[in-house]
Structures are given as structure tokens and as C-alpha cells.
Amino acid sequence: MFGPLMQGRGRFNQETGEFEPDGAGGDYVNNLPAVSDPEQTYANITRQEYMDYVENYREFEKELIEQAQTDTSLIDYAKEDALASEERTRQIAERNRSRYGVALTPAQMQEQQRSLSRGTTLGGVQSIADARIAQRDANQRLLADLINIGQGVNRTSLQQLGSAASDANARKRAYQSARAQAKQQTIGAVGSLGAMAIMALAI
Amino acid sequence: MGSKPKQQDYKPSEAEKASAAVAKAEYEFFKANYEPLLIKMRDKAKDENYRDSIRGRASADVAQALTSNLSLGQVTNVASAGDTAAAYSGQLQKADEGAKSVKNKMATGVLGTARGQAAEAQSGLAQVSRMETATALQRAKENQALAQAKFTAGVQIGGALGMQGLSNMQQGRSFFGGTELGQPLPPGVQGPPAPDRKLGFRDRLQAGSFGNLIGG
């Protein structure tokens, strides 16, 4: 009744531009299990998807929303670095001096200490100020991304709900229409029976 | 009068059946193969430590920029330590910022995909690898280059001065080339008569461009 093309048994060969029936390769589609009740399958998948989301991502999403509003890690790190950088730089300078076998005079040592303190303080102040700006920026961007995702989810949900409401409304109207039709038919039938009874009595 | 509707006329077509079967198979394939990956990415976005590796890279940047061409002048330059400290603070702050950006992008990418929204295609790691140089590091590099240039210029000027001074002394003059006022030039030395000559460095500073004493 159906040819291989109609049944989908085969595949389109792009090189030859022709449909090749089975025999030229595996029939992947016809070997798939048939979906006997697509509506029920779709309902099951929708339900399972939501359950998987709640189980796997709901907590993760809440943590991100919380983080976007309260995260101060960049500022905290900058403060830690500002404290540690003086010691690190002093060690670097000492290592470099020992490589060259150079010793500083007490006056030079004092000046180096002053320079280190100055550099550490100024650098720390600047990096903490930069970190504050970067933190605000990162939190803002994260929040904006989350809101974008949320907005998409909201839009999809409203569309689904709108579709469900529209279907429900159509069903309600179909029911009312059917009920009115049934009532009309009943009245018509009763009327016919009544008319027939009157005619029978008259005869 | 029309015939009764036949149920077989309301059966799905072959195309519809194939479409449903393929869709379900694709869904199952996705759930089996991609969903675990997405969950792994979720865990990675939560727990992966990008910070340490990016900070390591930032520290290496500072070390390369400020100490790769180490010289005696830099080692003994006591003022450069402050620049180095500020450069480290600035660059590490940039590294933390980059790591945070990578983590957040990955997290929103995972969540967006899980929520059926468009996934973020770029992780942002490549961007971090091209991390912009922090201002403090740039300034420290510039200061170092300036100090090196000053040192080089000082060596050149000092060298020229020393050579000229030695030459003057070999000719019997003072280091700065002057002779006592009124004294004749040493034998065999060419030049203007002695009264035009100034004795020392101070006299030279007080002299105008053409050798006359200012106000003198």
C-alpha cells in the first residue's frame, strides 16, 4: 500500500540525490519502539522533566540567586592579598639580592621598607576599591543573567498556561454547545412524541 | 445518507508515528547521555577551583614582567619593591575577577540549559587567558623601564665626564679642564690663553655658554 518512501524505510542519499530503500543501510526509524499514546507520553515527559529540575537544579538556582545579592568574595580576597603582598614582595627582593650577592646598607633597608609599606598600602587600597567595583559588576551581571533565564521561564510558563486555558475554554464551550444541542433534541423528540400522541387520540 | 465514520480513518499517519517514535528516542538519548553531563557541569560550576590556576597565571605575569630581565640596578633599587607589591595586589585582584566571571558564566549556562533557555556558548576561559594587564603592573613596568633608562643615561654621562676629565688631567689641567687664572697653558697644549679658562666645576656652572663668567 505504501512505498518505502511513504513508510520512511530508507534514507535520502545526498550524494546521489535519491532515496535509497532499506538494504543500503540500517532501518533506524522502523526499529524504534512505537509510541502508542503520544498524549500520555508527552504528559509523562513533562511531569518527569519538572521533577528532574526540582531534584537537580532547584537548590542550585536558589544558591545563585542568593549569591547574586550577597556575594562579597572578591572584596574579601583583595583584603587578604593586600595583607600578604608586603611579605611576598620582601621575600622576592631578598631572593633577588642573594642571587646577585648584594647587601643593602641600613639606610637602604629602611628606604626599601618605606617603599614596600607605601606600595602595599596604596596597592591594597586601589585593589580593594577595584574589587568593590568588580564585585558589584559581577553580582549585577549574574543577577541580570538569572533574570533573563527567569523571564524566559516565565514566558514559556505563561504560554503553556494560556494554551491550557484556551483548551479548557474550548472544552467548556463544546460541552455547553453539546448540552444545548442535546436539550434541543430531547425537546424535539418529546414534541414529536406529543404530536404523535395527539394525532393518535384524534384518530 | 453518509456511512458511519471509520476508526481507521482517524489513525495516525506513518509520518506522525515516525515523528513520535523519533522524538521519544531522541528524548531518551538526551536524558541518558546529555543530562548526566549537565549535572556534572553543574557540580563543576559549584566546586571547581578556577581561582588558583588563574591566580598562578597572574603571579607568573607579574614575575615575568618585573623580574625576567633582572639587573644589578633593579636589585639594588629600593624604591621598586613598592611598585612590585602594588602590581601583585592589582594583578591578583584581576585574576579573582576573571575566575568569578568564569564560574558565574558556567553556572548561568548550566541553569539556562536546564531551564530550557539559551545556553551560554562561551565559558569565558579564553577571555581570562587574555586577561588584561592591571594598571599597577603596567605602572610598575613603566617605572622599571624609566629607572633603567635613567641608569643607562647616568652611566653614559658619567662615563663621558670621566673620560674627558682623565684626558684633561693627562694634559696637566684640572679634572674639569681649567688652569689657574693667569697661568700659561702647559707646554704643547693647544687652546685659548689661560685667563679664558675656568678652574673647576663651580666656575663652569657659573660660566655662560661662551665661557664668560655670569655677572663676573
pLDDT reading at A102 higher than 60: yes
CA torsion A77-A79-A81-A87 (nearest 10°) is -150
At residue B195, the pLDDT reads 47
Compute the mean pLDDT over every residue in chain A, rounded to the nearest whole number: 85
Residues with Cβ within 8 Å of A123's Cβ and at least 6 positions away in sequence, in order, are A82, A85, B82, B85, B86, B87, B88, B89, B90, B136
B14, B86, B107 member nearest A7 (Cβ): B14
Residue B172 C-alpha, separation from nearest chain A C-alpha, in angstroms: 38
- Beta strands A10-13 and A18-21 are antiparallel
A108 contacts: CB under 8 Å, gap ≥ 6? B76, B78
pLDDT for B203 equals: 64
In angstroms, the separation between the Cα of residue B76 and the nearest Cα of chain A is 7
The most confident of A159-163, B114-118, B163-167, by mean pLDDT = A159-163
Q: Tell me which residue of B20, B21, B35 sits closest to A48, measured CA to CA.
A: B35
Residue B189 is classified by DSSP as -
DSSP summary character for residue B33? I
Q: Rounded mean pLDDT of B170-179?
A: 69
| Percent of chain B as helix, strand, coil, to the nearest 5 | 70, 0, 30
Contact A53 B114 (CB under 8 A): yes
> For A13-24, how does the pLDDT look when each residue is reduced to its tens digit (9 = 90+)?
777 777 666 655
A88 → closest Cβ in B24, B88, B97: B88
Cβ within 8 Å of residue B72, ≥6 positions away: A100, A102
Chain centroid to Cα A39, Å, comes to 24
* Higher pLDDT, residue B151 or A74: A74
Model pLDDT, residue B120: 40
Contact of B200 with B178, CB cutoff 8 Å:
yes
B101 and A138 within 8 Å at the Cβ level: the answer is yes
Q: Which residue has the higher pLDDT, A145 or B216?
A: A145
Only one residue has cell 460541552, namely A175
- Kindly report, residue by residue over B97-147, the tens digit of the pLDDT: 999 999 999 999 999 988 875 444 334 444 444 455 556 666 777 777 777
Q: What does the alpha-carbon distance between residue B57 and residue B61 come to, in Å, rounded to a whole number?
A: 6
Higher pLDDT, B94 or B192: B94
CB B182 within 8 A of CB B194: yes
Greatest mean pLDDT among B61-70, B102-111, B195-204: B102-111
A35·B116 Cβ contact <8 A: no
Q: What is the pLDDT of residue A175?
A: 87
Measured CA distances, A96 to A159, A176, B180, B199 (Å): 67, 92, 49, 44
The upper half-sphere exposure of residue B142, i.e. CA atoms within 13 Å in the direction of its Cβ, equals 7
Task: Quickly tell me which residue has 624604591 as its cell.
Answer: B79
- Dump pLDDT digits (tens) for B21-40: 999 999 999 999 999 999 99
Residues 119-148 of B with CB under 8 A from A: 120, 135-136
Cβ of residue A117 closer than 8 Å to a chain B Cβ: yes
Could you tell me where the DSSP H helices lie in chain A?
4-7, 38-56, 58-70, 73-100, 106-202
Q: What percentage of chain A has pLDDT greater than the value 90? A: 27
Q: Do A149 and B14 touch (CB under 8 A)?
A: no
Segment 40-99 of chain B within 8 Å of chain A by CB: 42, 46, 51, 67, 70, 72, 74-76, 78-90, 92-93, 96-97
pLDDT value for A140: 95
Q: Do B78 and A115 touch (CB under 8 A)?
A: yes
CA distance, residue B166 to nearest chain A CA (Å): 30
b/e sequence B118-140, b meaning 16+ C-beta within 10 Å: eebeebbbeebeebebbbbbeeb
User: Facing residues of A21 across strands?
Assistant: A10
Of the pLDDT bands very low, low, confident and very high (cuts 50, 70, 90), residue A25 is low
- What pLDDT does B63 receive? 85
Chain A residue closest in CA terms to B104: A142
Residue from the list A53, A60, A119 with its beta carbon closest to the beta carbon of B85: A119
